[in-house]
Every structure is written in C-alpha cells, then in structure tokens.
C-alpha cells in the first residue's frame, strides 16, 4: 500500500514538473533560470543587490555619524569607506568572472540597480535611528541622486572586476588552457 502511494505521488510530481517546465508557469523560474526554480535558491542578482545595499547603508550611516561626532576625521573615514565599497564590488565580481559564474554580468547589473534604492531607504532609516533623527524629507534625495550614485559605485568597480577576473585563467585549467586532470592519490597526504 505504501509503495503504491509513493509511486502515485512521484508520477503526479513528475507530471506537474513537466507541465511547469513546458509552460514556464512556475513562479521561481525566470531571471535565475531553471536551476533555482525548483531548488528554492535566491537569484544571484538579489543576493548581490541586498548585500551591497546593506554594506552601502552601513557605510553611509557610519560616515554620517563620524561627520556629526568627529568632524576632524571625516577625510580619512571617507577615503576608507569608499575604498572598502569599491574593493568589495571589484573583488566579488572578479571572483564571479574568474570562477565563470553563469550570467554574472547580468547579476551585477540588476543587483546594482536593486541596491541603489534599497540602500537609500536603509540609509534614511539608519540615520534616523542612530545619527540625527533624519525624517522622510530625506527619502526623496536618497531614492533619486543617492540611489543613482550607489548603483554607479557598485556597477563601475564590478565591471572592472569582471574585466580583470575574466582575463585570468580558469581555476581548473593549467597554463596551456587545457583542463587539468588530477590523478587519484595512492598514498595518504602528510
């Protein structure tokens, strides 16, 4: 009895899966493709966009706090914050290109467009909670000029990182461009 229920459930699942694949009606399909449509994984552009938005919002709040409470140290902190933001986007995108992550350029483009407005909203919230009681009047500027600047501050270093990372040899290739085959060990390491 139990095996007949399992086989019936399996055949129903495979019919539904085939129908969804042929019609594209699954809600998870789309930007990240069929690989994450059934696995429940987040699209790579969403991960990059949200992580960079949170990083940019934290940086903006820290910079605003330093500006208010330690105005003599603003120059050094500004340079350090911009270096961290640019370095993060460049390094992460270079790793994506080097590891040949599929569709990495589109993921960084969409991610930067998502990160801009999200970082703007998070910055206004963070500044209102931790710095100077910023109100909703600051939201307009954060969602227009601030969002555009954030998107560019992600997109330009990411583009440079992808350019550099794409020119590096694949991690699984040797210097001749051929795939390296690793022979199994016969003796334990050590």
pLDDT in tens, 166-183: 998 887 765 555 555 556
Are the C-beta atoms of 51 and 114 separated by less than 8 Å?
no
Burial readout 143-167 (b: 16 or more C-beta within 10 A, e: otherwise): beebbeebbebbbebbbebbeebee
Which of 33-42, 95-104, 161-170 is the least confident region? 33-42
Mean pLDDT value of segment 154-162: 96
Helices (H) then strands (E): counts for the chain: 7, 0
pLDDT in tens, 3-60: 444 444 444 444 444 444 444 444 444 455 554 545 668 899 999 999 999 999 999 9
Mean pLDDT value of segment 99-128: 94
Q: What's the whole-number average pLDDT of the chain?
A: 80
For residues 68 and 77, what is the distance between their CA atoms, to the nearest angstrom? 13
- Looking at residue 187, the DSSP 8-state letter turns out to be S
Are the C-beta atoms of 49 and 115 separated by less than 8 Å?
yes
Identify the pLDDT of residue 135.
Answer: 80
Q: How far is CA 126 from the centre of its chain?
A: 21
What's the pTM value of the predicted model, to 2 decimals?
0.69
Tokens of 102: 């599929």
Tokens of 69: 């409470």
């Amino acid at each position: 009895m139990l095996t007949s229920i399992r086989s019936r459930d399996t055949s129903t699942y495979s019919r539904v899966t085939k129908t969804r694949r042929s019609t594209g009606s699954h809600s998870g399909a789309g930007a990240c493709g069929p690989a994450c449509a059934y696995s429940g994984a987040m699209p790579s552009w969403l991960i990059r966009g949200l992580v960079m938005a949170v990083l940019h919002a934290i940086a903006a709040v820290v910079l605003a706090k330093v500006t208010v409470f330690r105005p003599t140290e603003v120059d050094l902190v500004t340079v350090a914050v911009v270096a961290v933001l640019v370095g993060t986007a460049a390094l992460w995108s270079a790793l994506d290109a080097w590891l040949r992550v599929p569709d990495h350029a589109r993921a960084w483009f969409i991610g930067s467009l998502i990160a801009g407005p999200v970082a703007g909203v998070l910055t206004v919230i963070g500044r209102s909670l931790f710095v100077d009681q910023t109100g909703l009047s600051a939201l307009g500027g954060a969602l227009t000029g601030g969002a555009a600047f954030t998107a560019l501050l992600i997109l330009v270093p990411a583009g440079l990182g992808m350019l550099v990372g794409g020119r590096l040899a694949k991690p699984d290739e040797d210097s001749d461009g051929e795939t390296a085959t690793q022979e199994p060990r016969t003796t334990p390491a050590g």
